[in-house]
Chain A
């Protein structure tokens, strides 16, 4: 009898301890939710491939999960480099950013990180995996893009499809048949990674000498569809995903390696008008619901999460990921390659 009583006391003590632990763990998220509720709005900058429908689906799921009624204003990216440049310029002029959070690639967030334009946050305390927290708690990684040469499979014969990066230097692509995207950071990652700076810069110069058609990703997809450009030196898989949804026959030149894999990061901007909603939304994007929504609307998932489409894709391939310590070099080479191609002066 006495043993039963003792057991009951210990059991009750254990229940109380667990309950208290639960309360203390819930506190940070509850505080964040309460603060977010007061802010009421989030200005969200994200890839155009997410689309307004995808953004509003995120808003609905986010509000449902945390019991909020946050209004989400979505700004689709037209040119991530230009818009990141705008944030930097506005910050230098002392003007608050237009957006609370930006979902852009790791190299774009690198440009913000150098200039300390992230509002850092202890994401780990809210259960986010430390492996995906980058830039000194400034951002979290939510998905992986993949970039490879791309073409229109209804127009380009199979025998002409590039099998390796060097095939892009074949003279048959001269005179505008080859396209190069404004996302020249794809090449900068190869330089920071397995190729090294010298080899990559030489490759870029040779590519530029082919007089490629220069364009942004969306425009390039149109030129591939029309057959105006036969192969794009690189193209993001998000563009292919969007084209596939419309029934358009754009595909990767699979087999080309290494595969470049920019990551999508989400981070709250310094001076953002609604930082608490921004942090909470960033956390939400790393949850199972957030990840499922992101994959549904953009075709992307995280290569760090077992079982995802991205995780399966990278198996057995040489993939180039960028890390924080490479960001400076990637930034420098991106500007350099932009001038070599003729995107900038």
Chain B
């Protein structure tokens, strides 16, 4: 009797302890949910609030629907909406036309120089989009573009075949810039794809192209569709290409309308109209986000957990190897080599000129020497702060969110996961405008306007979706047994997270830390919207130089930034490879 009582007491105590621990986890998860709701929700509420007001932030005015009437009664709004959709569809199409074959070539075939190609793909991201756009103007401008001039000469054409200043031109430049990001997203799907069907086709004598079209694409279709939706959401929100190529030709998309409203060329900022335009973006973004989540869930049906050491057989391309390599290097030329060469060339000119013997004789290093006096130290310091603070805060939040979503049984973990993904549905420019409005209207409660911290907040919100997708996927691959062993041994949840889970996912987290740091360094839309004299960063300096016509100086700065970023990324990656894959997921 006594022995039974002791074990009953023990079981009861364990039961109480488990319930206490579970309620502690729920409390923590609730706290995270509230924090994220405020972090993400408040700027969104500001956008809605400013759309219902006229005048400036901080002015006491009644709520009104005047801005919505002005926006939706204007036929121009619908033309702009159509432009935005066409631009987004065309950009995504360009991206996938390049990315899908690229992924297959690099993930499934024996094409040589894979490591070099991966490094070059990463370098492509380091060149800010608007610097690359300068290169595209020199190549594809209808009047002075080198490619147009050569083609007209060789084929005796009456008019230039390419016009950069058009929706297709804009979509081409934007689509090419999306390829590295899309590549890494699809590569993950290819890695976890079941190769047995593909191999069965080859064994049966089916050709490589037919297998690619009839098997690879259908199997990876949910992943491709998810990437399409993700990129579509991004295309609706991008600003740089529409600003540099679209605005001079009066081709407006939603992001350029919002920017024009808050930083007009004539007149005064109109936050109310910006908010009303933002409403369209919000609705579109949320609908697409819901679609993306559904597609990702569907995609998981087609994946297998491959286990340590499993490698699908590489397809021997034979003489097609060189064609595949040519395709890869054609893309890399568009993305990396040509823009970098144009930047370097322009940085050495006294003023912008097309290549010629005269231009060659005037090359000079003076812009590099004058940069310190033109730029100063503050933008570099602010940029370094961003590159450290943004990924740190983002990844800390992401790890905590993913731990709750993947590792706990909290009933609302699905809601938390969705909440963490919602920022991707909200265009960066809208988030920045909302934060600016919050900072101006309620500066007594939110005294961040004009500081680097408001940009840190904006960037963190912007990339928390990316961070949590990464930490979700690395955490899900860590087997539960190790954690359970820790708990059975009496370790608390926090200790298990710190001592067991984090070391196992460290490599994935560090990779994302670097990635987000690089994205933050080159981001310009939000930094420009929130810019004041005190929080200038390198990307906004580049933008200002461009606006002032200091193009050779812009390019000199661009070359230095690329070298800096390549050095940082290369060093960290080398350090990681020396440390090794700590607790790799296999």
Query: A residues bordering B, Cβ < 8 Å?
Result: 43, 48, 51-53, 73, 75-79, 81-82, 85-86, 88-90, 92-95, 98-99, 176-177, 182, 184-185, 211, 213-222, 225-228, 239, 242-243, 246-248, 334-335, 337-339, 342-345
Total interface residues on B, CB under 8 Å, equals: 54
B263's partner among A43, A79, A95, A219 (CB-CB below 8 A) is A79
Considering the chains assembled together, what is the distance between the CA atoms of A345 and B247 in angstroms? 12
8 Å CB contacts to A: which residues of B442-472? Answer: 443, 449-450
Contacts of A82 in B (CB 8 A): 263-265
Q: Which of A94, A211, A227, A243 has the most CB of B within 10 A?
A: A94
Contacts of B248 in A (CB 8 A): 213-215, 219
> Which residue of chain B has the shortest Cβ distance to A239 in the bound complex?
B549
User: When the two chains form their complex, are residues A214 and B548 in contact, meaning their CB atoms are under 8 A apart?
Assistant: no
> Is the pair A92, B549 in contact by a Cβ cutoff of 8 Å?
no
SS of B interface (majority): loop
Asked if residues A226 and B257 are in contact (CB atoms below 8 Å), the reply is no
The 5 closest A-B pairs by CB, nearest first: A218-B549, A338-B266, A92-B56, A93-B58, A343-B265
Q: How far is the CB of B53 from chain A (nearest CB, A)?
A: 12
Determine the chain B residues whose CB is within 8 A of the CB of A92 once the complex forms: 55-59
Separation of A213 and B142 alpha carbons in the complex (Å): 13
Report B253-268 CB contacts with A as 1/0, cut-off 8 Å: 0000100110111111
Does residue B210 face the partner (Cβ distance < 8 Å to A)?
A: no
Q: Can you name 6 A-B residue pairings with CB atoms under 8 Å?
A: A78-B547, A95-B440, A176-B142, A248-B350, A335-B266, A345-B273
- Whether, in the assembled complex, B550 has its beta carbon less than 8 Å from a beta carbon of chain A, the answer is yes
B169 to chain A, nearest CB (A): 13
Is there an interface contact between A79 and B265, defined as CB atoms closer than 8 Å? Answer: yes
Q: Are B58 and A94 in contact (CB under 8 A)?
A: yes
B571 in contact (CB, < 8 A): no
| Chain A residues with CB under 8 A of B266 | 81, 182, 184-185, 334-335, 337-339, 343-344
* Cβ-defined contact, A81 with B264, below 8 A: yes
Most chain A beta-carbon neighbours within 10 Å: one of B137, B248, B544: B248
Q: By the criterion CB–CB under 8 Å, are A246 and B351 in contact?
A: yes
Whether B263 pairs with A345 at a CB distance below 8 angstroms is no
In the assembled complex, B249 has its CB within 8 A of some CB on chain A = yes
Contacts of B74 in A (CB 8 A): 345
CB-defined contacts of A339 to chain B, threshold 8 Å: 266
* Contact code string B543-583 (vs A, CB < 8 Å = 1, else 0): 11011111100000000000000000000000000000000
Contact B267 A176 (CB under 8 A): no
Give bound CA distance, A248 to B550, whole Å: 13
User: Which residue of A has the minimal Cβ distance to B442?
Assistant: A93
User: From B354, which residue of chain A is reached at the shortest CB distance?
Assistant: A226
Which residue of chain B lies nearest to A247 when distances are taken between CB atoms in the complex? B350
Which of B's residues lie within 8 Å of A, judged by CB? 55-59, 74, 76, 137-138, 141-144, 165, 247-250, 257, 260-261, 263-269, 273, 350-354, 362, 373-374, 376, 440-441, 443, 449-450, 532-534, 543-544, 546-551
Q: A89-B268, A218-B549 are in contact. Are A228 and B137 (CB under 8 A)?
A: yes
Given contacts A177-B143, A226-B138, A226-B141, contact A81 B373 (CB under 8 A): no
- Chain A nearest CB from B446 CB (Å) reads 13
Q: A81-B264, A99-B533, A335-B266 are in contact. Are A93 and B547 (CB under 8 A)?
A: no
The residue that A226 contacts in the complex, of B353, B533, B546, with Cβ under 8 A, is: B353
CA of A129 to CA of B267, assembled, Å: 31
B533→A98 contact, CB < 8 A: yes
Which B residue's beta carbon lies closest to that of A87? B268
| Contact present for A219 and B56 (CB under 8 Å) | no
Sample of 6 more A-B contacts, CB < 8 Å, known A95-B58, A184-B265, A219-B547? A85-B264, A214-B248, A217-B549, A247-B362, A248-B350, A345-B74
CB distance from A72 to the nearest CB of B (A): 12
| Contact between chains at A76 and B144 (CB < 8 Å) | no
For the complex formed, measure the closest distance between the CB of B31 and the CB atoms of chain A, giving whole angstroms.
Answer: 33
- A88 → chain B closest CB, angstroms: 5
CB distance from B397 to the nearest CB of A (A): 30
Among B58, B350, B547, contact of A246 (Cβ-Cβ < 8 Å) = B350
Q: Please measure, in the bound complex, the distance between the C-alpha atom of A274 and the C-alpha atom of B373, giving whole angstroms.
A: 24
C-alpha gap A177/B352 in the complex (Å):
18
CB distance A342 to B250 under 8 Å?
yes
Return the contact of B374 from the options A52, A182, A246 (Cβ within 8 A): A52
Contact residue among B143, B532, B547 (Cβ-Cβ distance under 8 Å from A98): B532
Interface centre among A43, A226, A342, A343 (most CB of B within 10 A): A226
Task: Report yes or no: B353 in contact with A90, Cβ–Cβ below 8 A.
Answer: no
Cα A248 to Cα B260 with chains together (Å): 31
- Given the complex, which residues of B lie within 8 Å of A51, measured CB to CB? 374
Instruction: Determine which residue in B142, B352, B373, B543 has the highest number of CB atoms from chain A within 10 A of its CB, and name it.
Output: B352
In the complex, which of the residues B137, B143, B534 has the most CB atoms of chain A within 10 Å of its own CB atom? B143
Q: Is the CB of A247 within 8 A of B351?
A: yes
Contact of A88 with B440 at beta-carbon distance under 8 Å, contacts A218-B549, A227-B144, A246-B351 already known: no
The residue in chain A whose Cβ has the minimal distance to the Cβ of B71 is: A345
- The residue of chain A having its C-beta at the shortest distance from the C-beta of B264 within the complex is A344
Residue of B nearest to A85 (CB): B268
A338 engages B264 (CB within 8 Å): yes
| Interface pair A218/B546, CB less than 8 Å apart | yes
B260 to A218, Cβ gap below 8 A? Answer: no
Q: Complex: how many Å from CA A97 to CA B76?
A: 34
Identity of the chain B residue whose Cβ is nearest the Cβ of A185 in the assembled complex: B266
- Nearest-Cβ distance from residue B431 to partner chain A, whole angstroms: 19
Contacting B547 at CB < 8 Å: which of A176, A177, A218, A227? A218
When A213-B249, A227-B144 are in contact, do A95 and B443 touch as well, CB less than 8 Å? yes
List chain B residues, Cβ under 8 A from A79. Answer: 263, 265, 547
- Residues in A whose Cβ lies below 8 Å from that of B532: 98
**Which of chain B's residues has its CB closest to A250's CB?**
B351
Across the two chains, which residue of chain A brings its CB closest to B268? Answer: A85
A254→B247 CA distance, assembly (Å): 29
Interchain CB contact (< 8 A) of B143 among A52, A228, A246? A228
